[in-house]
Each structure stands twice: as C-alpha cells, then as structure tokens.
Structure 1
Amino acid sequence: MSAQLPRRSRAVPRPPQTRLGRLLGANTSQGQQRNHKPRIPIVEETSAGGLVVALIDSIPSVAVIARRNRLGNIEWCLPKGHLEAGETPMDAAVREIHEETGIQGTIITHLASIDYWFAGSGRRIHKVVHHFLLDAKSYDLTVENDPDQEAEDAAWMPLETVANHLAYPNERRVVGIARELLDLGD
C-alpha cells in the first residue's frame, strides 16, 4: 500500500493578522471600504477657438488675449471657450473669438484638436479644444464683450513671433501648424 499524502487546503493562505491590522479592519470587507479612496468625478468639456489672422501694417498677425491663470499671473493665449447648447465647434470658435477680441472672422480650416486632462474643484476634467484658422473680417480689438470677463486685454501679434508669447505648448504647436499651412515655415 502506498502512503497517503496529507490533504491540502485549496484556499490561498492568508498572512497572519497583526493587532494593528485588526484595529484598522485589514482583510475584511469593512476594512477594504475604509481604506478605499473615493473616485474623483470626471467631467467632459469641449471648447473651440483658434487663430484669427489679418494683415496688420502688411505683417501677417494673430489676435491673442491676456488672461489670468489660476495663480493670478497674466498669460497670453489664443481666444477660445466652451460650446453652448446645440453649437458646433466652428460656431463656437467664431463666437468666442468675437466675444474675447471683438474680431469678426470666418473659418478657413480646422487646425487641430487638443485633448488633455487637469484637476480642479474636486474633479478631474477631460477637455478637448478644437482650434480653427480664421480670416479676420474686422480689425478693432476689444475685450468689452467678453461675458465671462476672462480676457483682460487683446493684441495683434505677428504670426512669425506669436508662439514666443503664448503660455501653452499646445497652442504654440497649433501656431506652427498654421504657419506651415500658410507656407510661412518655422
């Protein structure tokens, strides 16, 4: 007769529980709930804007806005904003550029869509910004019609150097795309 081997438990052995583990509720469903971090809500946002170009003193120029960042510092950026109910990204780009700069423009083409994440006010925000190239039909700058009063100033900057003044790398890349499209190179 052959010797029988002892029966092994099919259960996975658990590490010994310490007094601290018992106090914290480790290895219990109640403890797992206590140690589980709540999920931060995710919000989807879509914005549109872009480069509105004009010949200012015979120089191809772009309308940009100055606004304050979360730290209260002034930063130059391309005009853009949220889509309103039922609005297309193209409609929003034209409206936002007009509100933030006073410039009426017509869309020439789509340049790029930027997709990024950031956190704020206890939530994670997934944002997509559609950037368009627009031809200026008016040239006088004003920030007086900005309903959110985010734009503190607006200026025409030469397309050749505007990227040097923009706060965001993604917007600098969008300017590069526009320069290539307009055959202005880098």
Structure 2
Amino acid sequence: MNNHPDAAGCVVYRYDEHGQLLILLIHDQYGKWTLPKGHLEAGESAEAAAVREVREETGMGGKSGAFVGTITYPVQKKGASYLKRVDFFLLHADGSDAVPEAAEGITAVGWFPPHEAEERVGYEQIRHIIARAVALIPSQSSSCS
C-alpha cells in the first residue's frame, strides 16, 4: 500500500465582498472542472507540493491550512496500472485574480459558491473533498460593515 501521496492539491477558498464563501475550480485537460493538483517533486512535502501546484496552475498564492482528505484512483502508465494517491489541503487565497495556466493544460478557472462548485466538478471523489473542506473552512471572522 502506498503511504505517500503521488500528488497533492488544494481546496482554494476566499470570501467575496458580501462575505460569501467561494471555491476555486480549474477546467482541466480532460474537459472537467476540478481542484488544482499536481505531482510531488523529489523531497517535497505534500503540503508544499499542493501550494506550488496551485501557484503553477492558477497563479494564486495564499495561506495553507488543514489537511482535508485523500483520494485514490486507478491510473494506467506504461502498460501498468496503479492507484494514484492525492492529498488535499485548504488554501486561503490571498487574492481573487486567478489565471488559467495553458501550459499546464488548464483552459479556465473560476470562483464558485460551494454548492455550485460541487455540482460543476466532474469527479465524484472531488465532490466529497469539497464538501469536507467546506466543513473545515473557518467562518469569516471579520465583522460585516
């Protein structure tokens, strides 16, 4: 059993000017909405890889937070199949102007309310990660003026 993740990603979130929680989704090379994620580099922690991949795929930075969960799915590579493991973390975005990185196969990015993000996502396991993340995201503590 693989105890180390092969890849890592983030549930990137922010609050809009009305205090509405928004989740960042990317439109991937397979034509589906999902969360930003990517491979770990040698010696890199899952959390560091997750933050780096978000920056590479969307240009977004922020403060990484709690571990959200792990997904696994079968992958075919060089004729062999194996279970790919991806760890996800929270990332509180430090801005709102995400940019899709075409070189990474990302065709679009968007901020969506949690329920809409869950509906748009093309992968069942990612829906569960978003739902779990929403339960973990600290409520906005700033007073509404």
| Superposition TM-score tier, normalisation by shorter sequence | 0.7 to 0.9
How far, CA to CA, are the matches of 1:103 and 1:45 in structure 2? 22
Whether 1:176 and 2:131 are equivalent positions in the alignment is yes
How far, CA to CA, are the matches of 2:5 and 2:134 in structure 1? 28
Give the 3-state SS of the residue equivalent to 2:104 in structure 1.
Answer: coil
The answer on whether the counterparts of 1:45 and 1:125 sit within 8 Å (CA) in structure 2 is no
How far, CA to CA, are the matches of 1:82 and 1:128 in structure 2? 10
| Residue in structure 2 matched with residue 84 of structure 1 by the alignment | 41
Moved more, 116-125 or 50-59: 116-125
| Residue in structure 2 matched with residue 4 of structure 1 by the alignment | none
How far, CA to CA, are the matches of 2:100 and 2:135 in structure 1? 29
Instruction: From the superposition, tell whether residues 45 and 111 of structure 1 become closer, same or farther in structure 2 (CA, over 3 Å).
Output: closer
Seq. identity, %: 31
Larger radius of gyration: 1
Give the 3-state SS of the residue equivalent to 2:28 in structure 1.
Answer: strand
| Residue in structure 1 matched with residue 143 of structure 2 by the alignment | none
Give the 3-state SS of the residue equivalent to 1:61 in structure 2.
Answer: strand
| Equivalent of 1:62 in 16, 20, 23 | 23
Matches within 5 A, 1:3-42: none
Matches within 5 A, 1:141-152: 141-144=98-101, 148-152=103-107
Moved more, 148-157 or 124-133: 148-157
| Residue in structure 2 matched with residue 9 of structure 1 by the alignment | none
> For the aligned residues, what is the CA RMSD?
2.0
Tell which has more relative contact order, 1 or 2 (C-alpha 8 A, sep 6+). 2
Tell me the CA shift for residue 56 of structure 1: 2.3
| Equivalent of 1:161 in 92, 111, 116 | 116
How far, CA to CA, are the matches of 2:138 and 2:104 in structure 1? 35
| Residue in structure 1 matched with residue 52 of structure 2 by the alignment | 95
Give the 3-state SS of the residue equivalent to 1:97 in structure 2.
Answer: helix
| Residue in structure 2 matched with residue 27 of structure 1 by the alignment | none
Q: What is the TM-score when the length of structure 2 is the normalising length?
A: 0.84
Tell me the CA shift for residue 126 of structure 1: 1.9
Moved more, 86-95 or 119-128: 119-128
| Residue in structure 1 matched with residue 12 of structure 2 by the alignment | 52
Counterpart residue type for residue 172 of structure 1 = R
Give the 3-state SS of the residue equivalent to 1:116 in structure 2.
Answer: strand
The answer on whether the counterparts of 1:99 and 1:143 sit within 8 Å (CA) in structure 2 is no
What is the count of residue pairs matched by the alignment? Answer: 135
Tell me the CA shift for residue 45 of structure 1: 6.7
How far, CA to CA, are the matches of 2:49 and 2:113 in structure 1? 24
